[in-house]
């Protein structure tokens, strides 16, 4: 199963007075992870919407927080496809930062997305997206 990685730096605006990242930002970072996963597969989410009328709204999101992200941390977002059906995609994420030179797990998260068309009607994920995403699960 392929894991796709991207990195973000925790900005001051994403933290509280103690320099700890606000919990909702983890979902923003997950979005960055899944958009970059698609980009690494050769797709741009924006083009999926324009060219194919394919939208992927989040219908479920969970996050288990393990250790706080702090201001100026470099956070690695590891994203993989955890499940795929014709009209449902489940992404899994691991968010990590370096602590004392070692990777530390900040959080584990999942988002579930239903494929819909421009009219917000559930539909099948068009080719070639389905095949490319499916292939990441076989590796």
**Residues identified as active-site:** 16
CA distances 12 to 16, 75, 76, 97, Å, are: 8, 14, 17, 16
Give the number of C-alpha atoms closer than 13 A to the C-alpha of residue 106, restricted to the C-beta side: 26
Q: What is the dihedral of CA 24, 4, 110, 26, to 10 degrees?
A: -10
Tokens standing for 115?
A: 């494929």
Positions of E strands within the chain: 4-9, 58-65, 74-85, 88-99, 102-114
Which three-class secondary structure state does DSSP give residue 60?
Answer: strand
């Amino acid at each position: 199963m392929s894991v796709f990685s991207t990195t973000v730096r925790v900005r001051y605006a994403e933290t509280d007075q103690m320099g700890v990242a606000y919990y909702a930002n983890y979902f923003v970072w997950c979005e960055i992870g899944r958009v970059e996963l698609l980009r690494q597969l050769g797709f741009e989410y924006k083009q999926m919407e324009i060219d194919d009328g394919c939208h992927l709204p989040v219908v479920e999101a969970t996050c288990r927080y393990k250790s706080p992200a702090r201001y100026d941390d470099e956070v690695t977002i590891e994203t993989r496809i955890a499940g795929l059906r014709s009209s449902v995609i489940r992404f899994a994420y691991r968010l990590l930062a370096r602590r004392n030179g070692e990777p530390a797990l900040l959080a584990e998260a999942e988002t579930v997305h239903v494929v819909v068309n421009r009219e917000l009607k559930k539909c099948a994920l068009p080719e070639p997206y389905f095949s490319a995403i499916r292939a990441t699960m076989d590796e």
